[in-house]
Amino acid sequence: MSVYGMMRTGVSGMEGQANRLAATADNIANSSTTGYKRYETLFSTQVVNQSVGGYSSGGVTTTSRQLVSQQGVLSFTTSSSDLAIEGDGFFVVQDQNGVPQLTRAGSFVPNSKGELVNAAGFKLLGYSYENGEPAAVANGFQGLVPVTVAQTELVAVPSTIGSISVNLDSRTPDPTAGTPPPPAKPTPFDNVAGSEYTSKTSIVTYNDLGNTVLLDVYYTKTDDNKWEVTVFDQSTATDGTGFPYGPDPYLGNAPLVSGTMTFDPNTGKLVGGDSISIPIPNGDTPGPILELDMASATQLATGFVVSDVEVNGNIPSSIELVQIGEDGRILGAYADGTTRDLFRIPVATVASPDQMRSKTGNIFTTTDLSGEVSLGFANEGGNGKIVSGALENSTVDIATELTIMIEAQRNYTANSKVFQTGSELTETVINLKR
């Protein structure tokens, strides 16, 4: 029995080395495949029951494991849609059946619909900004849509969020000072000819159709540490003077909005009225509401200064350039110089990536041993960062694979000699009868 066992052991050794050669062949064939993770072949012993005074040989079994967690070297390209993950995580892509899959192959290019598709034909999935700032669904793929970058689409973005940083001169005389108090003068809120104000600035905004709307913002000191803020549509101003402004066609009133800012007399910082909601004129229909943040306003002993103004929105224009940040934000740069958040790419992670199963197209699917998929964003919670204009190279080293191939070939030959020796011994036993 030991002779036949020896032959079976030789066969198992040849099978094991053949499996090792098959994995090596796959590795070498995919040495230029973007995001490919090399296979290694692991050997384990088969032991049969041993008897006293004899030895029965067992054999060897093999297991092929893909080293999914191994980081490949990044190579940089000239395309901003080429993506790589430096660190842990996977891109979520959609196969031809609409099923989400995981991959590290980030060679994405726009197809005829503007969807980002990699070399295997899988569509990149992400969260859209159409409904505001997206949040990752931690335990599922709901909410993900194909990332679409339409280079010729005209988009008009209304102004909805803005901020303004100003300093109002604390040396401005208190209008209520004096005995008796001076008679009240009309302020911009009164909107009459001769309305008086302390300071004025104008800001550019956009309505729903992308029309430019200039807003006149008046600051008027009405009491000690108190300022009136009044906003008008500049297009309704009286020629040459400003006041009075005409009524808005839809709102029916001249000041679009008016509020009060209150400052701390000791620090000069704003303590009340840190924001104002401005309805943007939109013809004879309701327009967007601009939430203007004024929290950084100060009242210090220097002149009126507007240090910073930021308002979102843009006129109808097409995307000229797409920028992708390390956190996965896809930013569209428009012809008028404005930018807009379009999508955000999530990063998928699993507890044990080396236990996932690979599928055709350089994609991976989870198993019971790998754990479930968890979605998050790049550069957050230990997830890797996304590098735009780069691709992750295959983790295959040709020199290493050729060395393994030679070693496996020699081992295969040695195991074949074991089988051949067993065959010769069997022939010798048979010839004893002659």
Does any domain span residue 74?
no
What pLDDT is attached to residue 326? Answer: 93
| HSE-up of residue 222 (Cα within 13 Å, Cβ side) | 19
Average pLDDT estimate for 29-39: 93
pTM: 0.67
Q: Provide the β-strand partners of residue 344.
A: 127, 329
Residue 64 structure tokens? 């092929």
Q: Do the beta carbons of residue 312 and residue 157 sit within 8 Å?
A: yes
Final residue belonging to a domain, choices 296, 315, 334: 315
Per-residue pLDDT reduced to its tens digit, 36-54 = 999 999 998 888 766 666 6
Is the model's pLDDT at 28 over the cut of 80?
A: yes
Domain interval for residue 421: 2-67+395-431
Average pLDDT estimate for 267-279: 93
Q: How far apart are CA 353 and CA 278, in angstroms?
A: 51
Confidence of residue 156 (pLDDT cuts 50, 70, 90): confident
Does any domain span residue 85?
yes
Residue 163 structure tokens? 């901020």
Instruction: Please tell me whether residues 385 and 404 are part of one structural domain.
Output: no
Task: Count up the domains in the chain and report the number.
Answer: 3
Cβ atoms within 10 Å of 76's Cβ, excluding its own: 11
Residue with tokens 């005389």: 173
Confidence of residue 138 (pLDDT cuts 50, 70, 90): confident
- φ and ψ at 377, to 5 degrees? -115, 155
Confidence of residue 316 (pLDDT cuts 50, 70, 90): confident
Q: Which helix (H) or strand (E) holds 305?
A: strand 305-311
Q: How far apart are CA 23 and CA 80, in angstroms?
A: 34
Provide the strand spans (E) within 251-293.
Answer: 255-263, 270-272, 275-279, 289-293
Mean pLDDT of the chain: 89
What is the arrangement of strands in the sheet containing 212-223, beginning at the earlier edge strand?
A: 199-206, 212-223, 226-233, 255-263, 270-272
What pLDDT is attached to residue 51? Answer: 66
Instruction: Please tell me whether residues 186 and 148 are part of one structural domain.
Output: no
Instruction: Please tell me whether residues 255 and 274 are part of one structural domain.
Output: yes
Instruction: Please tell me whether residues 222 and 360 are part of one structural domain.
Output: no
Does any domain span residue 75?
no
Instruction: Please tell me whether residues 162 and 175 are part of one structural domain.
Output: yes
Is the model's pLDDT at 1 over the cut of 60?
A: no
* Furthest C-alpha separation in the chain: 143
Is the model's pLDDT at 4 over the cut of 60?
A: yes
Instruction: Please tell me whether residues 309 and 188 are part of one structural domain.
Output: yes
Higher pLDDT, 16 or 247: 16
DSSP assignment letter at 93: E
Instruction: Please tell me whether residues 170 and 310 are part of one structural domain.
Output: yes
Q: Which helix (H) or strand (E) holds 411?
A: helix 398-431
Average pLDDT estimate for 353-374: 92
Q: How far apart are CA 222 and CA 244, in angstroms?
A: 19
Instruction: Please tell me whether residues 164 and 311 are part of one structural domain.
Output: yes
Is the model's pLDDT at 351 over the cut of 60?
A: yes
| HSE-up of residue 96 (Cα within 13 Å, Cβ side) | 4
Q: How far apart are CA 425 and CA 415, in angstroms?
A: 15
What pLDDT is attached to residue 381? Answer: 86
Instruction: Please tell me whether residues 383 and 425 are part of one structural domain.
Output: no
| Residue 296: CATH number of its domain | 2.60.98.20
Cβ atoms within 10 Å of 96's Cβ, excluding its own: 9
